Amino acid sequence: RPPDRTDDDGVDIVMDERGRYMPRWTKMELCPEKSSRARKFGTIKDDNWVRPPLEQCSMEDFMFDFMRFHHKQGRDWEIVWSAIDRVMIRTGKPMDCLHFYKQVCALGGFKNRNHAKQSFRIMNVFEQLFNYYDNHTLTDIGNRCLTVYEDFFLDYEIENEEDRSYGRCSLCYGGIYQGTKHMAGVLHTCISCEKFYHKHCQPMHRFASCINKGCFAGVPMMFVCNACVLTADKELTKLDEEMRLKSWEDSGTYYVRLYELVARRGRRYNASYQPPTRAVETRDAWQAPETWDTA
């Protein structure tokens, strides 16, 4: 269809089927190309870009794709983002959306509220987020997390069904849920043979040192399994080293980049903010007096 108008670069802009002007996403402050640090982790090059697999997806790539999805659904992506952040407003930190989504998908996906409540504890997911702190006062955080996922993440999960973790460990044959005969846990994927393994079913040195820490807590990681390493493939060894280095760099800068990301959309967080905490109950054990008055 003919263009409705042109942008500042003279590029044609058309309206979508909802009667809204389609934004040039790569020109928006949300795009990683707008930040030198984010550009190192983002893979976006143009408006036809497709998100990489979730295990290899950076925070910048995920948030770009996540907000683009909501825009296509007819929602204002900035309002969506603000609504998600409000869930964690008492923590004084922006919502760690990618880590939240990855953990749920690693547990087989949300699917629906009843399935989520029966399959895993949402509080365990919250406790591994950047937003968690000891003695927090978010007494209803479990329901809040379920609701925000149902309202904003579930449609995206359904659209990207391949993000859900399926399959069984190639060594112990256990899955993600506890069974009567098999081990359970998060399944990590070998980048060479594409087989799944639990962390405890591979030598620990096969994984990057940041596994199950920080932004990688409770989420799958790509690695090279022990069987593939024994093939002594030089290209595979090089790939393994590059992947470890990238994981380490991603983990080390993740939360700095998260703050930079929200700053690029005009949001600011007070670094000196002290979140409210509840008093810790202490009960001194009763002790009998040294002498009893028998008078």
Give 166-185 as a DSSP string: ----TTT---SS--SSS---
Give the pLDDT confidence score for residue 244 in this predicted structure: 85
For 238-276, the pLDDT digits (tens) are 888 888 888 888 888 888 888 888 887 777 777 677 788
The pair of three-digit structure tokens given for residue 160, joined into one six-digit string:
């990207």
Q: What mean pLDDT is predicted for residues 8-14?
A: 45
For 174-193, the pLDDT digits (tens) are 887 655 456 678 889 888 88
- The rounded distance, in Å, linking the Cα atoms of 272 and 138 is 20
- The rounded distance, in Å, linking the Cα atoms of 221 and 56 is 8
Highest mean pLDDT among 83-87, 216-220, 286-290: 83-87
Give the pLDDT confidence score for residue 148 in this predicted structure: 95
pLDDT at 156 over 90: yes
The pair of three-digit structure tokens given for residue 175, joined into one six-digit string:
């899955």
Give the pLDDT confidence score for residue 27 in this predicted structure: 56
- The rounded distance, in Å, linking the Cα atoms of 257 and 268 is 13
Name the percent of the chain lying above pLDDT 90. Answer: 16
- The rounded distance, in Å, linking the Cα atoms of 156 and 38 is 23
For the chain, first and last CA: distance in Å? 103
CA 212 to chain centre: 13
DSSP assignment of 200-253 equals GGS-GGGS-TTTTSGGGTTS--EE--HHHHTT--HHHHHHHHHHHHHHHHHHHH
Give the pLDDT confidence score for residue 110 in this predicted structure: 92
pLDDT at 22 over 60: no
Give the pLDDT confidence score for residue 294 in this predicted structure: 44
Q: What mean pLDDT is predicted for residues 109-138?
A: 88
Give the pLDDT confidence score for residue 144 in this predicted structure: 92
The pair of three-digit structure tokens given for residue 93, joined into one six-digit string:
């930190």
Q: Which residue has the higher pLDDT, 234 or 201?
A: 201
Q: Which residue has the higher pLDDT, 147 or 29?
A: 147
**CA count, 13 A, side-chain hemisphere, 27:** 9
- The rounded distance, in Å, linking the Cα atoms of 106 and 265 is 29
- pTM listed for this prediction: 0.78
Burial 49-64 (b: 16+ CB within 10 A, else e): bebeebbebbbbbbbb
- The rounded distance, in Å, linking the Cα atoms of 25 and 46 is 8
Of 256, 293, 208, 285, nearest to 94 by C-alpha is 256
- Mean pLDDT, the chain, rounded, equals 79
Count the neighbouring beta carbons within 10 Å of the beta carbon of residue 262. 17
| Domain residue limits, the chain | 52-263
Of 168, 166, 165, 163, nearest to 179 by C-alpha is 168
pLDDT at 155 over 90: yes
Give the pLDDT confidence score for residue 216 in this predicted structure: 82
- The rounded distance, in Å, linking the Cα atoms of 198 and 177 is 12
pLDDT at 288 over 70: no
- The rounded distance, in Å, linking the Cα atoms of 129 and 123 is 10
β-partners of residue 5 are 13
| Helix ranges, the chain (H) | 36-39, 59-72, 77-86, 97-106, 113-119, 122-127, 141-148, 154-159, 226-229, 234-264
